[in-house]
Chains A and B, each alone.
Chain A
Amino acid sequence: MKKPTQFDAIVVGAGPAGNACAYTMAKAGLKVLQIERGEYPGSKNVQGAILYAKALEEIIPNFRDDAPLERHIIEQRMWLLDENSFVGTHVRSEDYNKPPYNRYTIIRAQFDKWFSAKVREAGALLICETTVKHLIMDGDQVVGVQCDREAGDVYADVVVLADGVNSTLARKAGFHPEIPAGNVALAVKEILFMPEETIRQRFNIGEESGVVMELVGRITDGMVGTGFLYTNKESLTIGVGCMLSDFAKNPNRTSPYALLEQMKRHPSIAPLIEGGEMKEYCAHLIPEGGFHAIPKVYGNGWMIVGDSGGFVNSAHREGSNLAMTTGRLAAQTVIEAKAAGRGYRADSLYTYKKALDASFVMKDLHKYRDLPGVLHKSPQFFTSYPDMVAQAARTMITVDGVDKKTKERAIFAHLRKTRKLTGLVGDAFKLWKAIR
């Protein structure tokens, strides 16, 4: 028997997706309950972390007034590394140093607390330290959630699942199966504190501006993955992530923390982080299956937003902006359904999917739909190619009496030995096809 509804909507989780969703609904006057399992919003959440301004602007236009932002990004570095060297591109522009800034480094525990305060100001009720165990069903309709506290059954017209990459609730309810290890990356990272002045000097930046670095090559021990290094105000975030399936079958049985430690000791990276005081070590899964891995994200009385629905564009390292956008679009679906009095069955919540398809979220995921598959089958992009580039550059630059023509021949001979010409052309074509 259906219990009396207590809320218009319940949002499970207080990350970017849940907060965007709860905020948008509460702002529209809906009665919203948000449930978070951590001690405070952010205490269970891990991200690199880069905040893309646009997605948040759509929700809180003047967020820059009081959001805890670390540095706006004026320079992006992309490094290919072999054992002892790197070859890199650095893109830096004064255009990125003019407000309104496009992206920022953030510290998630602080940012999520701020966002959550906005959600509560907007009128949503937040309950922390509460884990949702199951969805409550009435026939085929989700009507509420069962929490791990006394009298913990709560009822609502619709439940929005913003419960993160493990997507525990939808899995238990049978809405989708377990996420395969080939569709998630396992990332570990550390935060290293050092004086602000040191960061400014080492990275050639000002008081507010910052640098992001992406690292590809030997640092992932033959696995498909990347490393990263971001500048915060008074700290650096350094981390590395690889496909979980690659970790599991790595013949060296390399642990994630050994991988990170090895990367920190790379001669090109060690001087950048030297003296940093490690204050926290985190691990997190990132859903990287892309377009083909997105499960059904709505049904009778439920919707999935953010990481829980696999909304990550791994090609561009975007996640939190997709999370916020999917949260906002789910909220708008609920607001419209309530206004129209059309109920919360799947045929009403279907407009969420339509809105997703019309947005950059599904358009971008569709554009890169074949990239996860191509990269997964082509570890050479993360192993032999960075090695070759670094070696070729080193050979050409070294002045040692060998003439340049001979050097070129040696480089091409090495290239052909590492990968047949057909392989090279095939890789270039596959990659071009997957990202065009």
Chain B
Amino acid sequence: MNTITVNVEEKLFQNRYRVDAGRPHIKIKDADVCTNVCVVKSCTFVCPASCYKVEGNGSVTLITDGCLECGSCRIICSDHFNVDWEYPRGGHGILFKFG
């Protein structure tokens, strides 16, 4: 497939969120596992909201503000079980206008 550059932030900008500031509903359990153990880091391209990013030093950062609450990241981390995944607090997170 020809790689095309897509700015997912532009897509997410159309969505409505109520962010639970300071209380991310998904956490990386052990940052060291992402940096030094996991090679594929598939969360960094499978996440449909691009919440996971690889940094220059190989570490993976997670910002859940744009999360679509699909669950993919938790399921694909099946070698390391390194994703602590909960739904946001009631009323928070993505609020689909159309769904």
Q: Which A residues lie at the B interface, using CB under 8 A?
A: 37-39, 42-47, 49, 107-110, 112, 128-131, 147-149, 165-166, 168, 178-181, 184, 186, 188, 190-191, 221-222, 235, 244-245, 247-249, 252-259, 261-262, 265, 278-285
Contacts of B71 in A (CB 8 A): 165-166, 285
Other-chain residue from B1, B40, B70, B95 in contact with A39 (beta carbon distance below 8 A): B95
Contact in complex: A281, B12 (CB < 8 Å)? yes
Cα A186 to Cα B4 in complex, Å, equals 20
Per-residue contact bits, chain B 75-97, to A (CB 8 Å; 1 contact, 0 not): 11010000000111111011111
The chain B residue sitting closest to A130, CB to CB, is B90
Can you offer 13 A-B residue contacts whose CB atoms are under 8 A?
Answer: A38-B91, A39-B95, A44-B95, A44-B96, A108-B98, A130-B90, A130-B91, A188-B48, A248-B40, A253-B42, A256-B48, A257-B11, A284-B70
Given contacts A130-B90, A278-B14, A46 and B99 within 8 Å (CB-CB): yes
Contact, CB under 8 Å: A129 / B90 = yes
Q: Given A44-B96, A108-B98, A279-B97, A180–B78 Cβ distance below 8 Å? A: yes
- Contact among B46, B90, B97 with A128 in the assembled complex (CB-CB below 8 Å): B90
The chain B residues found within 8 Å of chain A, CB to CB, are 1-4, 6, 8, 11-12, 14-15, 18, 40, 42, 45-50, 68-72, 74-76, 78, 86-91, 93-99
Residues of B with C-beta under 8 A to A109:
96-99
Let me know if A45 and B99 touch, CB within 8 A.
yes
Contact status A128-B75, CB under 8 Å: no
Find out whether the CB atom of A248 lies under 8 angstroms from the CB atom of B42: yes
Q: Is B76 a contact of A181 with CB atoms below 8 Å?
A: yes
Question: How many A-B contacts at CB < 8 Å in the complex?
Answer: 153
B98 contacts across to A, CB distance below 8 A: 107-110, 191, 235, 279-280, 282
Q: For A258, what are the chain B residues with a Cβ–Cβ distance below 8 Å? A: 3-4, 6
Measured in the bound complex, the distance between the Cα atoms of B26 and A166 in whole Å is 14
Which residues of B have CB within 8 Å of A248?
A: 40, 42, 46, 76
CB distance from A210 to the nearest CB of B (A): 16
Given A108-B98, A262-B1, A281-B15, are A255 and B46 neighbors across the interface (CB < 8 Å)? yes
Query: Which residues of the other chain, A, contact B11 by a CB distance below 8 angstroms?
Result: 190, 257, 278, 281
> Would A43 and B95 count as touching, CB distance under 8 A?
yes
Which residue of chain B has the shortest Cβ distance to A129 in the bound complex?
B91
6 pairs of A and B residues whose beta carbons are closest in the complex: A129-B91, A283-B48, A108-B99, A281-B11, A130-B90, A283-B68
